[in-house]
Amino acid sequence: MRIKIPKSWQLTANDVTDESVYRQRRTLLKNMGFLGAGALMSTPAHSLDWFSKSAKKTFITEPLTYLPQSDKQQILTPESKVISHNNFYEFGASKSDPVNNAQSFQTNPWQLTISGQVENKIILDYDDLTRLFALEERIYRLRCVEAWSMVIPWVGFQLSTLLAKAKPLSSAKYVAFETLEDPEQMPGQASRRLGGGINYPYVEGLRIDEAENPLTLMAVGLYGKTLPPQNGAPIRLVVPWKYGFKSIKSIVGITLLDKQPPTTWNQLAANEYGFYANVNPGVDHPRWSQASERRITTGGLLARNRIDTQMFNGYGEQVAHLYKGMDLRANY
């Protein structure tokens, strides 16, 4: 099932100015077998196994750029920053820890189980994650609660297509997500100090209508390549209208529930991190303002990269209706 997104949001890569978009686009097309050999040189930083294996399946060849008007002239966050400035506390609590500590993380074999209040329980293995779904490339903003943001070309599929295969029962009102628990591979789980005091596994949740919204993506790649471990390989959630912590990485379990599930950051500091976590410039974090953000771009001291934060991270047209009548100050 594909739900149409309003036209104003469906742009092609030509609407984004950064030249690297085109280079990356060509790399992706080449890997998918659409460009002749020798069309360009590419030395990918990480494995392309999934994409080369899935070359024959349906793939929307132009990326869908889901950016608000104010962002259309913005450049993509360079790949080098997307894969080196991360929050993934299982590999350490500082932004440079994940890239340094996650490189030998084993993502194959993998098992993702969809269970709970469903008609069909589903278990997907590593190959299924991309083989079973038509992959799309989508450019989304992602804003961290710590007030930095990026613009990232993700590769993935709509969570709604996976949920539809599992057939949620009418009693299913929430979707809970769980990250792998493996302290032997994840130093932050082995040491409370390294792991920022989180009780693992990392868990997240969405209301079922949020999970089924067409913007909610299961990402298996970025910049046309298999997802690097520090960004949540082999499969992670991307919910672009919510603060980054909702976009849980390296998922092994999806459970349909009749009640709201606990979430990691809410358990750690309930007054700072709510269940909804919708990007909202009007509701500050208790310790800092949420009115503006630092867009991570090509950087440099002279980069003018402080921008106003937008309600729902700019995706109000797609999601504001989900919260009609709700007090978003109380449900932060």
Q: Which does 168 bind (CB under 5 to 8 A by kind): ligand MTE, Mo ion, none?
A: none
Rounded to a whole number of angstroms, the minimum distance from the CB of residue 34 to ligand MTE is 27
Count the residues in the chain. 332
Rounded to a whole number of angstroms, the minimum distance from the CB of residue 197 to Mo ion is 16
Give the alpha-carbon dihedral of 154, 156, 157, 163, to 10 degrees: -110
Secondary structure element (H or E) that encloses residue 25, with its range: helix 19-31
Tokens 């360009």: give the residue: 40
Kindly state the DSSP code that residue 78 receives in the 8-state scheme: P
Cβ proximity to ligand MTE, 145 vs 319, nearer residue: 145
Rounded to a whole number of angstroms, the minimum distance from the CB of residue 245 to Mo ion is 5
Q: Which does 88 bind (CB under 5 to 8 A by kind): ligand MTE, Mo ion, none?
A: ligand MTE
The CA-based angle 150-226-66, given to 5 degrees, is 40
Task: Compose the 129-148 pattern: x for residues touching Mo ion by CB under 5 A, - for all others.
Answer: ---------------xx---
Tokens 């979430």: give the residue: 263
Considering only residues 65, 86, 87, 160, which one is a binding residue for Mo ion as defined by CB under 5 A?
87
Rounded to a whole number of angstroms, the minimum distance from the CB of residue 26 to Mo ion is 31
CA distance linking residue 235 with residue 229, whole number of Å: 9
Token pair listed for 63: 């990326």
Interaction of residue 110 with Mo ion, rule CB under 5 A: no
Kindly state the DSSP code that residue 268 receives in the 8-state scheme: H
Compute φ and ψ for 314, nearest 5 degrees. Answer: 90, 0
Token pair listed for 18: 């950064």
Binding residues for ligand MTE, rule CB under 6 A, total: 17
Q: Which residues bind Mo ion (CB under 5 A)?
A: 87, 144-145, 244-245
The binding site comprises 86, 89-90, 144, 179, 231, 236, 247-249
State the residues that interact with ligand MTE by CB under 6 A.
Answer: 86-90, 142, 144, 179, 202, 231-232, 244-245, 247-250
Binding residues for Mo-molybdopterin, by number, are: 86, 89-90, 144, 179, 231, 236, 247-249
